[in-house]
Structure 1
């Protein structure tokens, strides 16, 4: 039930992305950037200093900087350490007790850590919407687009994008700013998202959208 050790793999290139069913383009006036579960506990599954970890973190950091500059809210999801069996629920059966109550394991790398003005959500389930304030925050901000980065692509990233779709929130999954257990899982998540619930895009494409002037 422990997290698997991830073998290095290259992030997908733009010409390797699935074909989207929708032609959505992110709008900085409507978007929120979700930095999903980038805690050391989860990132420890990846080989340090290698892809996909290095590229995913670098691209997420670029998007965070652009979002802040454009006035796009940045929301970080993070799981609580030392959860009780009641708090853990069915995740206990699939993944064991989860992250320990260790500040280092629960923190994010400096390059993608929350900054003043960002929002930090305590997350409980795969989707970042379940038992959190995310939907209410987005409604209060008058925003209906969610840009999703982080880990793991075929679990929380995909479930958050699918949950967004069910709330009529347009999701944009950033293919080279997410990472997964394997390239196979990564590609599967992108195919499912592109065909069922989201627009799959790249960091560079989103940077162009976020920095575009009226």
Structure 2
């Protein structure tokens, strides 16, 4: 007796308001990110109905992330189980799932909507984790990428285990709630809650793309903060540091938001001033205490840097 895939999967993807609270202040950075498209093969997508939820949003959101990742030169990795696996290669998977894809070569194909590009990497998938029997961890570390953005199916199986494995390789996992799919809404919610509470950050496509689009290398900000850096770039850096202190996603913080209302008390402002000084910005508690928005702080620090 073994498990079978559902015959039909139909449920709405979770709304942003329903996502579990984050446990760590990690923020996606395009200079540190790699995108994982997990098991988006015909075999595993068979239970989903084209044009209906969650399939429609799942494919659309992964497509959006792929397009932006390629635009920003963020490396893209796919996992794909091969057809014609030998019993010895599947090993214990046989006991739980039988032959899996078996000899179905069409089933092993990545869905047409998300086909890999020539510069993407397709990893042969042998177990639940994308790291098992692959060089994913070594490749990420060698390229200086320590954040893994996880999309695909199934959230409570391979996606969740890959997130845990990323964590154990000192790679920050980000599970994109509306770019992963599962058997049921309950399985989906369980996976998100576990990852958020144990090993990673749960975000959504909108927040992630906003963070990527506004992201930058903090080192480049520091080296030019006193010269020709823009207030927008300084502001992005400040917003990232504020997000860390408030355990928020930087994309959730508007440049004109009153940060005191968001919970940035005087103790945290002192911590922020010290952190920004370590980053190379001429920040003081007095300067930050004189205003309370990212926009005002960026303008003040840019002026100080220009006058140095």
Give the TM-score taking structure 2 as reference length.
0.68
Deviation at 1:213, TM superposition (A): 5.3
Name the structure 2 match of 1:5.
7
Q: Which runs of 5+ in 1 are unaligned?
A: none
Q: Deviations over 1:148-185 (max 9, x none)?
A: 00000000000000001111100000000000000000
SS state of the match for residue 176, structure 2?
strand
Answer yes or no: is the 8 Å Cα contact 2:30–2:215 preserved in 1: no
1:146 to 140, 145, 148: 148
Indicate conservation of the 8 Å contact 1:77/1:120, yes or no: yes
**Which of 121, 124, 132 is 2:123 aligned to?**
121
Shift of 1:47: 2.2
Q: Deviations over 1:108-147 (max 9, x none)?
A: 2222110111000001000000001111110121111100
Q: Which has the higher helix share?
A: 2
- Residue 49 of structure 1 is matched in structure 2 by 51
Rg larger in structure? 2
Displacement after TM superposition at 1:56 (Å) = 0.7
Runs of 4+ in structure 1 over 4 Å off: none
Larger relative contact order, structure 1 or 2 (CA cutoff 8 Å, min sep 6): 1
Computed over aligned residues only, the root mean square deviation of the Cα atoms, in angstroms, reads 1.0
Hey, what's the Cα distance between the residues in 2 that align with 1:100 and 1:51?
A: 27
Aligned residues: 214
Structure 1 distance, partners of 2:119, 2:213, is 19
- Report what 1:75 is aligned to: 77
**Aligned counterparts, 1:89-104, within 5 A:** 89-104=91-106
Gaps of 5+ in 2: 217-308
Post-superposition offset of 1:100? 2.6
Quote how far apart the aligned CAs of 1:49 are.
2.0
The answer to whether structure 1 residue 108 and structure 2 residue 105 are counterparts is no
The structure where strand makes up a greater share of residues is 1
Residue 107 of structure 2 aligns to a residue whose secondary structure is helix
- Displacement of 1:26 in angstroms is 0.5
Name the structure 1 match of 2:196: 194
Deviation at 1:7, TM superposition (A): 3.2
C-alpha separation in 1, matches of 2:4 and 2:84? 15
